[in-house]
Structure 1
Amino acid sequence: MSNLTVSRHFVEAALMGAERAGFNTRDMLQEAGIAPDLLKIEKARVNSDQFSRLMQVLWTCMDDEFMGLGPRQCRAGTFATMCALVIDCPTLEAVYRQAFQFSRLFEPMVSMELRVKDDAAQLVTAIEGDISDPQYFMRESLLVIWHRLGSWLIGQPVELMKAEFDYPCPAHGDEYRHIFHCPLAFDSSRTALTFDKRFLSAPVIRDRSEMHQFLKTSPADLLSRPDESNTFTGRIRTLIGRDFSRPLPDFEWIASALHTSPQTLRRRLKQENTSFQEIKDLLRRDMAIYYLGRQDLPINDIASKVGFTEPSTFHRAFKKWTGVTPGAYRGGERQATGGE
């Protein structure tokens, strides 16, 4: 099971094109294991498995990897064809250049262009034609997929120095902190990701059989499951683990386990737009949401599983995270699991 969750906002944004095209989005949600009633809860979240399934349902039903948000249809299988083309590239730079050339074969073009200046490399969004993307989901997906595909191919996360967007900070802008783990700039002249150009010379380490496995769940998994193994946030999540019934390690212990000083770790977490307290809170929230999906588990048991000695404290914290009580949240989820 995955202990990561995705905001309800992204679920609704992903469905916008399908809705506009007249598809039955309630059926799509249920096929992905998401209860439509859950989306009535403003701060609801789904787990990353459900979100991955929803992406696959959308691409298959619509036969469009742009999900009705782009300037044209992008037939299912286009991403897989691009991957088959770039797997033989020697380096990350060659991957991004080849992928751009592939994208240019389609008109109007939707792509990311690699630009290099001094020590910095940039992936800049290149979209021709009119798009119907009021929630920015297609543009966000483009950035995330190209970044995470590159990271996967070279076997290490490409650390971002900056993410910039040519639109104002959206209402869900706070989610960007946990997607990009780097300084963010809105109302910029471009939509782009900046990283150290040393990553461009990293060799592609994946082979065709690994690519075949990878494509069974991609690019859906790239959107819902960030590889955080190279971020301090991800490493701390791993060190804390999933067993909240025992005392959690303190910040000093975490810092020494990561071979750094508490001051340096605090500074690095600030650069990643988070804090130790927030990492613990979000882990607890994600685990609570996961356990609430298991209808057999009493809510008081879930409270102790996620580290609360008093059920009332858990109820208060959960309401702060999601805007509703654990019972109301479970009620919203019930429909997808066949309960009444």
Structure 2
Amino acid sequence: MSELTVSRHFVEAALTGAQKKGFDIDALLLSAGISPDLLKIEMARVSSSQYSRLLQNIWNVMEDEFMGLGPRRCRTGTFATMCALIIDCPNLEAVYRQAFDFCRLFEPMVGMQLEQHGDEVKLVTVIEGEIDDPLHFFQESILVIWHRLGSWLVGQPVELVRAEFSYPEPAHGDEYRHIFHCPLAFNCSKTALTFSKRFLDAPVIRDKPEMRQFLKTSPADLLSRPDESNTYTGRIRALIGRDFSRSLPDFEWIAAELNTSPQTLRRRLKQENTSFQEIKDLLRRDMAIYYLARPDLAINDIAFKVGFTEPSTFHRAFKKWTGVTPGAYREGERGGPG
């Protein structure tokens, strides 16, 4: 079964603190099953499970959940302790207020604070002290973890109205569309996520055994595996399925399956910052990368599996997605020809 992939940018960004502090980057990559040679390919991607392992390895080796990027060290176990505290909260508002109070116990503080603005609520990043975060990975991680943790606790996606960033749009800004599924704004006064006030009343539906299970792979999984089951993007991915060797369902059929009109679905996808064509293309790309990691599959067979009748068309598409041919990509994943 193929899975979502993560851009090489986020792999390198996650390693910036460890690199500065002199840790063995190649060893960290290899322990997560990632070939260092793969990162020589500018548009390379890794699987979400590899990325999740890498993050856990970085936290454990550095003994720092801030990965050397924050204003101080954050000992491993801090996130789990916060989660043990907030699992007893009645609703999402209490979760975010309790989590903020927990973060205030540390100095300098790093957390997110709720601000109410009429019918909307802002979750605003509060970072005291100096951070060494040239690729904005630390700030992005805080946004993603707090948002996805809240969504997981209440068992539904907290739909974002807007994501704001206090810095200019970075070179990897296009990736944000697939992370936040909402309109983006850069050069803002604060880094914050805005959502409807109604989510604050959503009850916490998870219990302590579920939390224990969740913490075995968190917060790494929160960063690497977005729960897309409730976004239109995720639901369409699920409806398309994994078998591209047969003809794909058309947009009208998908809309009918989702009990909506094609016009409404188009509008919803626009709100999620994507399109039907892009969803299909990215699914093909992720599947192609997944299959290339299996040495038993010939490249021409992979072309057919991901829905290309002509291998030459597949080569062109793959080069557009990753900047290299399928053969060169496979060499990189294996560790290169020598």
Query: TM-score, length-normalised on structure 1?
Result: 0.98
Unaligned 5+ runs, structure 1: none
Encode CA deviations 1:272-299: one digit per residue, 9 max, x unaligned.
1111000000000000001111111111
Detail structure 1 runs of 4+ shifted over 2 Å in the superposition: none
Amino acid at match of 1:292: L
Secondary structure at the aligned position of 2:57 is classed as helix
> Structure 2: how far apart are the matches of 1:316 and 1:117?
48
2:321 is aligned to 321
Contact 1:2 1:49 in 2 (8 A): no
1:246 is aligned to 246
2:310 is aligned to 310
Contact 1:2 1:48 in 2 (8 A): no
Contact 1:164 1:186 in 2 (8 A): yes
1:226 is aligned to 226
Contact 2:2 2:287 in 1 (8 A): no
Report 1:1-340 matches (<5 A): 1-335=1-335
Contact 2:2 2:286 in 1 (8 A): no
Contact 1:14 1:67 in 2 (8 A): yes
Cα offset, 1:115, TM superposition: 1.0
Instruction: Report the number of matched residues.
Output: 338
> Structure 2: how far apart are the matches of 1:264 and 1:296?
43
Contact 2:243 2:306 in 1 (8 A): yes
Contact 1:166 1:189 in 2 (8 A): yes
Cα offset, 1:335, TM superposition: 2.5
> Structure 2: how far apart are the matches of 1:212 and 1:335?
36
> Structure 1: how far apart are the matches of 2:221 and 2:195?
22
Cα offset, 1:117, TM superposition: 1.8
Evaluate the alpha carbon distance shift between residue 297 and residue 2 of structure 1 in structure 2; reply closer, same or farther with a 3 A threshold.
closer
Encode CA deviations 1:182-203: one digit per residue, 9 max, x unaligned.
0000000100000001111010
> Structure 1: how far apart are the matches of 2:69 and 2:295?
36
Percentage of matched positions with identical amino acids: 78
Amino acid at match of 1:301: D
> Structure 2: how far apart are the matches of 1:105 and 1:267?
43
Provide the aligned C-alpha RMSD in A: 1.0
Secondary structure at the aligned position of 1:100 is classed as helix
Amino acid at match of 1:245: S
Cα offset, 1:2, TM superposition: 4.9
Encode CA deviations 1:213-247: one digit per residue, 9 max, x unaligned.
00000000000111111211111001001111110
Encode CA deviations 1:99-134: one digit per residue, 9 max, x unaligned.
000000000000000111211111100000000000
